[in-house]
Amino acid sequence: MNRVIPSRRAFWVLTALFILVCVTGAAWANRFLRQPALTPAIRGEAVARKLGCFACHGAEGQGGIADPGARGGKVPGWGGPTVSSYAKNEQEIREWILDGAPRRLKEAGAAHPPFIPMPAYRGRLDDRELSDLVAYFTAVSGGFGDVPEAAYEGRAIAARLGCFGCHGPSGAGGGPNPGSFKGHIPAWDGEEFLELVRDDAELREWILDGHAKRLWDNPAARHFLEGQVVQMPAYRPHLKEDEVGKLVAYIRWLRKK
Amino acid sequence: MMRKRMAGILLAAVLAANLLRSDAVSTAPVAPAGRSAAPVYRSPNHVCLSADGLKAYVVNSTSNSVSILDIRDRKVVGEIPVGERPVHAAVSREGRFLYVSCTWAGDVEVIDLAEGRVVRKILAGDEPYGVTVSRDGRRLFVANAVSDTVSVIESESGKTLSEIPVGHFPRDIAETADGSRLLVSNGLSRGMSVLDPATGKEVERRDLGRASITRQVAVTRDGHWAFVAGILSHDETPSLQMERGWIHSNGFSVADLTRPGHRVTLLLDRLLSGAANPWGLLLSADEKHLYVSLSGVHEVAIVDVAECLKLVAETTPDQVKPLEQDVEVLEKRNIAKRFDAGGLGPRGMALSEATGELLVANYFSDSVSVLDAATGALRATIPLGPPQEMSLWRKGELLFNDARITYQTWFTCTSCHQEDASVDGLNWDLPNDGIGNPKSAKSLHDAYDTAPAMWSGIRANMDAAIAAGQRFQGFLPDPANHRALVEYLGNPERAPNPFLRRGAEARQRGEQVFVSAGCDVCHPAPKYTDLKLHDLGFGTPDDYRSRFDTPSLREVYRSGPWLHDGRALTLRSIFSDHNPQDLHGHTKGLTEQELDDLVAFLRGL
């Protein structure tokens, strides 16, 4: 059998290819390693942490500590269904935060004042902190207003499948992820989303296969996709076709808001 | 309120004036409050006979009066004003008094027929509907539709001897000849109550299978057989096809009272034409014929009782179900024949043995028709007043009750919503929001100002829902019909709330609970809905959606069972049993007293 010795020409071709890969790889790395701008909701989480909201309302506002004086026996969480009997609209959320209760309830006179009162934070946070905090609260609760049916059901599916555990409440952006493009699990909105997801077809690929084919086929991008500590799961076996549609509708609705 | 009372007084005056003129047929209609320009219709709901069988007393439900007919002369000889919304009546044994149940007035009014006026008002329960005089004449039995009870009342003193809990929305009562049992049709429960009036207890709830909105009930003299008219509602099946009665079929049930649990249901439909909405039901004195009025198809059925009972007797338990699915059984076997009722909306009937004639109260024609009791031939129609043109609203009411706008006349809107556009208490699997997720029929009284419509909000508003409803019934929406239905449902008629007559303090305390539990966030006054869909964990694996349209709480006292799939059988259980995660208002930890108060408040809405 003849041993094939690479020719000079072949050597140069390979070298050129190698350089090309390095350059594109660097370009990819550069694009993705930029520090992403924090979303208001992510900033709001820091505000909540600083102000001690989670001490009473539970980690990430998922349901609070015992309140033996309250009828329900605990400090309410910030989940949408819970909030729906506490606040009519976003304005009332602001009133809860600033005054410890909305005006509507103060006027009616509480029949059951809680044993652990909700503090009034007026004067303890500035306007930007307040609006970030409300953005975070809105992300946790799913928000007010008229969510279209498909989007709402998409949100329910996302909650059921645990998407928010990685991607943050309402996909507002997740925790650190060493070895990934961004160093954290990306949000479903903003610039970083646009880079990773070009259109609905790619969004479906992410959800069903755990990656977009365009990136998977790119060696440098693939390096990150395979190397990151937390991997995006491929949900294909766990989703029916109409459920994928609803997830896509939800993410699209979030981005339009 | 004031206007209503004024209208009542005016009407009384007009009627009295007419009575004084010997040739009088009351003429001048008086407008009720609310629909000012509309003429007053009489809307006869029931008719009964004098002791000699020669006079008929017609209960006019919307003119709040009783017309007196001379049967042989075929004319109205008098009209007596009574309380609001009379629906049913019975003559005392000696024939001197007429007991008239007035649902809205909330009493049974006693007319002294010699004096031609109401001489006493007897308080029964809430919305007294059917009234029956005991065989010995000493007691009155009254079905209280909203209290879900039957009152046993001493006729002489008007004193309530006992109030017996029965099924939901009791309508009509029959007493066995020996007085040992009362049979009660429950309009919104699928069973007939069998009561022992001596002990004041319900001794059996005779299951009637898929029967729904059952109406009048009769029993043979030997106390052996009971008959009850009703719809058969196939809510167990997705409401996809109405042919062969697969949404509704129509007939009556026969129960052998000597055998607990026995029941056979027979249908009066035909293969290509349903017998929508059986209402009145009576047995001839010789028990040879059973008469059933079919209010949605404007017909009366005459049933051969001997043949019918033969069929019932030979029906083995395993044949009960196939038999009740045979929509042409009585026609094929020549056991029943259907005849034109001689008017629109035939409801209550009376049989004059003296003249051999069947009298039929035709609600929408404002007339009583006289049929030959043997042949079913129409002998005469007696108008209860001068002819009046139907207002658009009235046309809508008629269409709502009329099976002619349904393919093959299988049913009417009222087959699911009752004659007052409310509820039937059943869960229906309508295809409009996907199949396999049945939902409780909603009252239509709130549709006009609480868009979207349906639990899933699948119809943008009432207009769209009415159009869809016409398609559901098998026809393209007809513009004229559509306008009338929009007018009718757009101006719903609400019964006065009986719970407002008592318990003001509890209601006030309940309102506090309502607000502090956060109920008012999604159910704000005055509509008691925020018009939005919410996800409070009520969805089941059958549902395609997690959110449901927030229902209005107006008239919530009469719209049960509650929640989108009717899972709550009492208002209280909505909070005590069906709010485990404390998401539907924070009602966890409410004291018994607070729950009672909350329910009192809700009932008053």
Structural domain spans, chain B: 2-34+392-425+433-490, 82-346, 498-603
pLDDT of residue B495: 95
What DSSP designation does B419 have? T
- The DSSP element (H or E) to which B115 belongs, if any, is none
Contacts of B32 (CB under 8 A, 6+ apart): B4, B7, B38, B40, B62
Residue B548: closest C-alpha in chain A = A149
Query: What are residue B245's phi and psi, to 5 degrees?
Result: 70, 30
Q: Does A152 touch chain B (CB under 8 A)?
A: yes
DSSP count for chain A of H helices, then E strands: 14, 0
In this complex, the residue of A72, A112, A149 whose CB is nearest that of residue B545 is: A149
ipTM score of complex: 0.76
Q: Which residues of A touch B585 (CB under 8 A)?
A: 85
Q: Which residues pair with B81 in a beta bridge?
A: B65
Q: Residue B368's closest CA among B356, B385, B354?
A: B385
CB atoms within 10 A of CB B86: 28
Count Cβ–Cβ pairs < 8 Å, chain A vs chain B.
67
Q: Does A73 touch chain B (CB under 8 A)?
A: yes
Q: Which residues of A touch B512 (CB under 8 A)?
A: 108-109, 111
pTM: predicted TM-score of the whole model, two decimal places: 0.85
DSSP B206-228: EE-TTEES---EEE-TTS-EEEE
Exposure string of B32-54, with b = 16+ CB inside 10 Å and e = fewer, is: beeeeebbbbbbbbbbbbbeebe
Contact call for B518 and A85, based on CB within 8 A: yes
Q: Residue B178's closest CA among B143, B227, B132, B221?
A: B221
Nearest-10 Cα torsion for B122, B128, B131, B137: -30
Contact call for B512 and A111, based on CB within 8 A: yes
- Alpha carbons within 13 angstroms on the beta-carbon side of residue A60 total 15
Which domains are delineated in chain A? 40-141 (1.10.760.10), 149-256 (1.10.760.10)
Instruction: Please say whether the beta carbons of B109 and B121 come within 8 A.
Output: yes
Residue A155: closest C-alpha in chain B = B546
**Which CATH number describes the domain made up of B82-346?**
2.130.10.10
pLDDT of residue B510: 95
Length in residues, chain B: 605
pLDDT of residue A110: 63
Q: Which residues of B touch A84 (CB under 8 A)?
A: 521-522, 534, 536, 583
CB atoms within 10 A of CB B222: 12
Q: Which residues of B touch A105 (CB under 8 A)?
A: 515-516
Pairing of strands B357-362, B289-294: unpaired
B509 three-state secondary structure: helix
Contact call for B581 and A76, based on CB within 8 A: no
Contact call for B537 and A111, based on CB within 8 A: no
Mutate to test the interface with B, among A67, A84, A155 (most CBs of B within 10 A): A84
Q: Which residue has the tokens 């309009």?
A: B187
CATH code 1.10.760 for B2-34+392-425+433-490: yes
- To the nearest whole angstrom, how far is the Cα of A168 from the nearest Cα of chain B? 21
Ranges of chain B whose pLDDT falls below 70: 1-38
Instruction: Please say whether the beta carbons of B430 and B295 come within 8 A.
Output: no
pLDDT of residue B34: 41
Instruction: Please say whether the beta carbons of B499 and B600 come within 8 A.
Output: yes
Q: Which residues of B touch A87 (CB under 8 A)?
A: 521
From residue B562, give the alpha-carbon distance in Å to each of B211, B551, B568, B574, B602. 20, 10, 5, 7, 12
Residue B509: closest C-alpha in chain A = A111
Q: Does B460 touch chain A (CB under 8 A)?
A: no
Contact call for B534 and A76, based on CB within 8 A: no
pLDDT of residue A111: 60
Q: Does B593 touch chain A (CB under 8 A)?
A: no
Fold of domain B498-603: Cytochrome Bc1 Complex; Chain D, domain 2 (1.10.760)
Give CA angle at B414 (B128, B144), nearest 5°.
10
Q: Which residues pair with B406 in a beta bridge?
A: none
Contact call for B586 and A73, based on CB within 8 A: no
Q: How far apart are CA B556 and CA B514, in angstroms?
A: 14
Q: Does A229 touch chain B (CB under 8 A)?
A: no
Residue A82: closest C-alpha in chain B = B583
DSSP B550-587: PPP-TTGGGS-SBSTT--BSSHHHHHHTS-TTS-SSS-
Specify whether the backbone of B33 is left (phi greater than 0), alpha (psi in -120 to 50) or beta: beta
Ranges of chain A whose pLDDT falls below 50: 1-2, 4, 20, 22-24, 26-36
Sign of the alpha-carbon torsion through A221, A226, A230, A233:
positive
Sign of the alpha-carbon torsion through B593, B595, B598, B599:
negative
Q: Residue B300's closest CA among B216, B410, B376?
A: B376
Instruction: Please say whether the beta carbons of A64 and A57 come within 8 A.
Output: yes
B170 three-state secondary structure: strand
For chain B, the distance separating the N- and C-terminal CA atoms, rounded to the nearest angstrom, is: 17
Sign of the alpha-carbon torsion through B179, B185, B186, B187:
negative
Q: How far apart are CA B531 and CA B523, in angstroms?
A: 9
Proportion of chain B in helix, strand, coil states, percent, rounded to 5: 20, 30, 45
What DSSP designation does B345 have? S
Q: How far apart are CA A169 and CA A141, in angstroms?
A: 8
CB atoms within 10 A of CB B21: 9
DSSP B37-105: TSPPP--EEEEEE-TTSSEEEEEETTTTEEEEEETTTTEEEEEEE-SSSEEEEEE-TTSSEEEEEETTT
Contacts of A159 (CB under 8 A, 6+ apart): none
Tell me whether the CATH fold assigned to B2-34+392-425+433-490 matches the one assigned to B498-603. Answer: yes
